[in-house]
Amino acid sequence: MITIKFVPDPLIECDLKNVYYPSDDSYLLIDYFRKKINDDLFDGIKLEEIENVLDMGTGTGIIAIFFQILKSLYPKFNPKIYASDILEDSIICAKRNEILNKSKNKITYFQSDLFKSFPESLRSKFNIIVFNPPYLPSSPLIKENINKKGIDHSWEGGYKGIEILIVFLKELKRFLNYENAHFVYYISSSRSDIDELEKRIINVGYKNEKLEKIHIFFEDIILNRLQYIKD
């Protein structure tokens, strides 16, 4: 018999001003994962097959910590959890939040620009990668690289809002365990050039599925899932 368990949101605190505080996009991901796990499967993948999970651009650590909570509730779900961010403040904040959620040194953290500082030992290792990226088009000042502040990393996705995701896509295959069960989840916005992004995704060999969409003020926020389908 399959039992549905109550999975709480992680407790999150952060007073460091450069760090993205969880918002609708963060909870769109978490709520989807909460619905898609049971005693045997995560979004259709057998729990035992998931060995390594990465939360790219972890911010306060909310998604990585949520996966730690899932591990505590589902005995067959026992992957190693990794979290990374370009900002040192995010790593500091995520480590503090891990402790706030009664876990210590269970998550492995990297301060890294996308995958650039990841060790070679993690090559082809990740079954699940989650990225809630900066996905909005740059403001004119940031385009000229003037006045870019730490917090701009939370939202500024490049000229069309997709450039950081495109670099992520180029680096992704080296670290994805694409020959075994895998999914990559990411958030996109109707304010960015989604058509161009989807063309790029197909060109580099992935299938893109739009899983859920919410409308917030001036934009649709979309939860997408990628799977690698060809060499």
Ligand X SMILES: C[S@@+](CC[C@H](N)C(=O)[O-])C[C@H]1O[C@@H](n2cnc3c(N)ncnc32)[C@H](O)[C@@H]1O
Q: How many residues lie near ligand X (CB under 6 A)?
A: 22
* Residue span binding ligand X (CB under 6 A) among the ranges 128-136, 176-184, 202-210, 212-220: 128-136
- Residue 25 to residue 134: CA distance in whole angstroms: 11
Among 7, 10, 14, 26, contact with ligand X (rule: CB under 6 A): 26
Which residue lies nearer to ligand X by CB, 36 or 76? 36
Least distance between ligand X and beta carbon 56 (Å): 6
Among 10, 59, 79, 137, contact with ligand X (rule: CB under 6 A): 59
Which residue lies nearer to ligand X by CB, 41 or 167? 167
68 scored as a contact of ligand X (CB under 6 A): no
Q: How many CB atoms lie within 10 A of CB 74?
A: 19
Specify the 3-state DSSP secondary structure of 200: helix
Which residue lies nearer to ligand X by CB, 114 or 197? 114
Q: In angstroms, what CA-CA distances link 111 with 86, 94, 177, 202?
A: 5, 11, 21, 29
20 scored as a contact of ligand X (CB under 6 A): yes
Q: How many CB atoms lie within 10 A of CB 104?
A: 9
Least distance between ligand X and beta carbon 51 (Å): 21
Of 48, 54, 57, 46, the closest CA to residue 20 belongs to 57
58 scored as a contact of ligand X (CB under 6 A): yes
118 scored as a contact of ligand X (CB under 6 A): no
192 scored as a contact of ligand X (CB under 6 A): no
Which residue lies nearer to ligand X by CB, 13 or 113? 113
- Residue 184 to residue 138: CA distance in whole angstroms: 24
* Residue span binding ligand X (CB under 6 A) among the ranges 32-40, 43-51, 56-64, 205-213: 56-64
**DSSP-assigned beta bridge partners for residue 45:** 42
Q: In angstroms, what CA-CA distances link 173 with 56, 58, 165, 228, 230?
A: 14, 20, 13, 8, 11
63 scored as a contact of ligand X (CB under 6 A): yes
> What's the Rg (C-alpha) of the chain?
17
57 scored as a contact of ligand X (CB under 6 A): yes
Which residues are CB-contacts of 89 (< 8 A; sequence separation ≥ 6)?
Answer: 16, 18, 19, 150
Build a one-symbol-per-residue string for 131-170: x at contacts with ligand X by CB under 6 A, - elsewhere.
Answer: -xxx------------------xx---------x------
- Residue 82 to residue 75: CA distance in whole angstroms: 19
- Residue 72 to residue 186: CA distance in whole angstroms: 24
Binding footprint of ligand X on the chain (CB under 6 A): 20, 22, 25-26, 57-59, 62-63, 84-87, 90, 113-114, 132-134, 153-154, 164
